[in-house]
Amino acid sequence: MKAIIFKNWFGYAAMITLLCGIIYIVGQQGFRASADDPQYQMAQDAANAINKGADPKSLISTATSPAEIAETLSPYLIIYDRSGNMAAGSAVLNGKPLKLPQGVLDYIRKHGADHATWQPQPGVRQAMVGLNTAGKGYVVIAGRSLGKIEERIELLGEQVAFGWAMALLGMLVVVTLQQVVATKWNLK
């Protein structure tokens, strides 16, 4: 009887596992994609201002110290010139200006935009969006920490795992009861 129960339960377990996997992937990708939303707005606003003639330095607040990205959740803006040097910026890492790889800046110049996760050192993961300015030679980068997003993704994983385990257990109970009833009533 145990072999019949397992055989009947296994197909349901496979479907439950597949569905829970899909739920996790869709949720995780939704969280990660939404992590870029503020940066798109910041980068687009800055690129538009530069395209209209604004000085990049005028777009960065000098009222506060640059944000230390290893310690803050605050979004930030960095503007690089044609040579890949920071023309203006509101963020630092370990007290030093952020230096993105030249290949990243070249890619943004060639394709107009990019978004990526950047981990300049262990424990410092950033969601970054970059836009090229139209004919001005600047690349605008907006970023922020992925800390809270990653916490939400971890919680999602725990919730999906709990739901998966409960669904498997519940389906095992249903299949077992079906088999017991079928055996008792000789309904095979």
| 127-131: average pLDDT | 96
Q: pTM, whole model, 2 decimals?
A: 0.80
**pLDDT for 81-127, tens place per residue?**
998 999 999 999 999 999 898 999 999 999 999 999 999 999 999 99
Q: Which residues contact 71 (CB under 8 A, 6 or more apart)?
A: none
User: Nearest Cα to 78, choosing from 89, 87, 93, 68?
Assistant: 89
**pLDDT for 25-34, tens place per residue?**
999 999 999 9
Q: Which CATH superfamily is domain 37-145 in?
A: PAS domain (3.30.450.20)
Strand pairing of 91-93 and 67-68? parallel
Whole-number pLDDT of residue 188:
55
> Domain coordinates of the chain in residue numbers?
2-29+151-184, 37-145
Whole-number pLDDT of residue 187:
62
- 113 alpha carbon, distance to own chain's centre: 17
